[in-house]
């Protein structure tokens, strides 16, 4: 499933208790992030209002007592994309109310975690997210 459109947005609108994301890739190539990622790499300052629509979503769910949690696996050295996440996205998402966990797997074997990204809603609905090695999203099951 692509990360856009009405069907995708309904998952975030309609969950009742929890939304959990597992991120296993080290690089994502998302069209909506291209400009800010390029600015980050160029040493620009994070723009005012960065990711504000997502932050409003997180805040609304937190205010209603619903949790949003993420677990991001990393291996060092960090990719430029992971540095972007940790500098710009993660701190602002946490400030908005998202519980964001980092799992450092540098020099460790896979502890049994899935090899595929997904969102899980209300511990019952799993939406797989499929990516090419370069981080571009593809459709699939």
Residue ranges in the chain assigned as alpha helix (H) = 5-14, 34-41, 52-63, 80-84, 90-96
Place of tokens 């595929």: 116
* Secondary structure of residue 56 in the 3-state scheme: helix
pLDDT digits (tens, 9 = 90+) for 83-121: 999 999 999 999 999 999 999 999 988 788 888 999 999
Report the 10 Å Cβ neighbour count for 78. 15
- Residue tagged 């060092």 (tokens): 76
The number of CA neighbours under 13 Å toward the Cβ of 43 is 0
pLDDT value at position 27? 95
Write down the pTM of the prediction: 0.90
Nearest-angstrom CA–CA distance, 33 and 112: 30
- 14-46 confidence digits (pLDDT tens): 999 999 999 999 999 989 899 999 999 999 999
Right CATH for 5-33+52-138 from 3.40.920.10, 1.10.760.10, 3.40.630.30, 3.30.870.10: 3.30.870.10
Q: Provide the 10 A C-beta neighbour count for residue 139.
A: 7
- How far is the C-alpha of 120 from the C-alpha of 133, rounded, in Å? 22
């Amino acid at each position: 499933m692509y990360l856009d459109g009405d069907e995708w947005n309904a998952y975030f609108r309609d969950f009742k208790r929890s939304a959990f994301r597992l991120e296993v890739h080290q690089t994502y190539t998302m069209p909506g992030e291209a400009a800010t990622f390029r600015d980050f790499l160029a040493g620009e300052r994070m723009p005012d209002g960065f990711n504000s629509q997502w932050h409003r979503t997180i805040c609304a769910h937190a205010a209603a007592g619903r949790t949003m949690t993420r677990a991001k696996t990393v291996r060092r050295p960090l990719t430029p994309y992971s540095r972007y996440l940790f500098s710009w996205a993660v701190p602002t998402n946490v400030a908005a109310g998202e519980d964001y966990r980092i799992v450092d797997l540098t020099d460790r074997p896979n502890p049994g975690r899935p090899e595929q990204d997904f969102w899980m809603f209300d511990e019952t609905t799993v939406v797989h997210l499929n990516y090419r090695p370069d981080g571009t999203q593809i459709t699939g099951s």
